[in-house]
């Protein structure tokens, strides 16, 4: 009996040491740290941030911030919906602008497009040669490449400020997502909650509504579980 009890205790200790059970609150603390880090990224303002590269200088991931003003003239739901759409468009614009101004595109075997920061000391000459010919920044070619990259963006963090009437959106781009997007036919444009639920023209929010529209936005911060993969 005593031997069985000792074996059970030893097994429990082994599970704990192997990471089978985490201390209470450890996950919540880690999530809070990630949310705090993403909040700082959002406060940096529109643009590309937190660029990660491999040892050969290839860009592996980055985060892009887009912002929009929230108008509550037509009520809170409509204001948030419009701000969400505008913030996402701002993200796309900021990402394309960054690609045009800061990034060198290289093509590997005519299949894979590789990104390098222009003028970066980390760029490996051998890696540049292996990636093949550079892609000239003609509008047609660059537009095609940019559209492919935009499909690989994912929402990481959202911040709504009632005081500033602002909507900040942080999205992430990674090589893995870009490759996966090439294999998916459907667009991701409708995945940001832009479609109304059970609402038709003339429903709530029309000019015939007697009640005043809700203009209280409230502060809100939401962070995706995938956000930690983009942090250093």
Question: Dihedral, CA atoms, 82, 84, 89, 92, nearest 10 degrees?
Answer: 180
C-alpha 163: how far from its chain's center? 24
Residue 210 is predicted with a pLDDT of 53
User: How many Å separate Cα 199 from the centre of its chain?
Assistant: 28
Q: What is the pTM of this model?
A: 0.75
Q: Using CA atoms in the order 194, 197, 201, 204, what is the torsion angle rounded to 10 degrees?
A: -110
Q: How many Cα atoms are found within 13 Å in the side-chain-facing hemisphere of 100?
A: 16
Residue found under tokens 């992430």 = 172
Whether 147 and 64 have beta carbons less than 8 Å apart is answered as no
Note the helical H segments in 66-158: 76-102, 125-130, 139-150
Contact 93, 85 (CB under 8 A): no
pLDDT tens-digit profile of 97-135?
Answer: 999 999 999 988 777 889 999 988 889 988 898 888 888
Q: How far is CA 144 from the centre of its chain?
A: 21
- Round to whole Å and give the CA distance between 96 and 147: 9
Q: What is the pLDDT along the chain (232 residues), one digit of tens a residue?
A: 444 434 443 444 444 444 445 565 888 999 999 999 999 999 999 999 999 999 999 999 999 999 999 998 888 889 999 999 999 999 999 999 999 999 999 988 777 889 999 988 889 988 898 888 888 888 888 888 888 889 889 999 999 998 999 999 999 999 999 888 777 644 444 454 444 434 444 444 444 445 566 667 789 999 999 999 999 8
């Amino acid at each position: 009996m005593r031997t069985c009890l000792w074996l059970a205790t030893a097994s429990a200790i082994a599970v704990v040491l192997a990471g089978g059970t985490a201390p209470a609150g450890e996950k919540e603390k880690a999530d809070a740290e990630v949310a705090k880090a993403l909040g700082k990224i959002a406060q940096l303002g529109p643009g590309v941030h937190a660029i990660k590269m491999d040892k050969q200088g290839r860009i592996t991931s980055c985060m892009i911030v887009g912002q929009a003003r929230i108008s509550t003239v037509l009520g809170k739901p409509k204001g948030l919906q419009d701000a969400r759409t505008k913030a996402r468009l701002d993200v796309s614009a900021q990402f394309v602008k960054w690609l045009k101004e800061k990034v060198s595109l290289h093509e590997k075997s005519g299949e894979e497009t590789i990104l390098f920061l222009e003028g970066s000391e980390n760029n490996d000459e051998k890696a540049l040669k292996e990636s093949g010919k550079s892609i000239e920044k003609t509008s047609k070619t660059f537009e095609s490449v940019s559209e492919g990259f935009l499909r690989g963006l994912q929402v990481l963090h959202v911040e709504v400020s009632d005081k500033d009437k602002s909507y900040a959106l942080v999205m992430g781009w990674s090589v893995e997502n870009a490759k996966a997007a090439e294999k998916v036919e459907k667009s991701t444009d409708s995945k940001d909650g832009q479609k109304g639920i059970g609402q038709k023209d003339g429903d709530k929010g029309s000019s015939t509504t007697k009640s005043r529209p809700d203009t209280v936005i409230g502060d809100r911060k939401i962070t995706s579980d995938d956000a930690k993969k983009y942090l250093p």
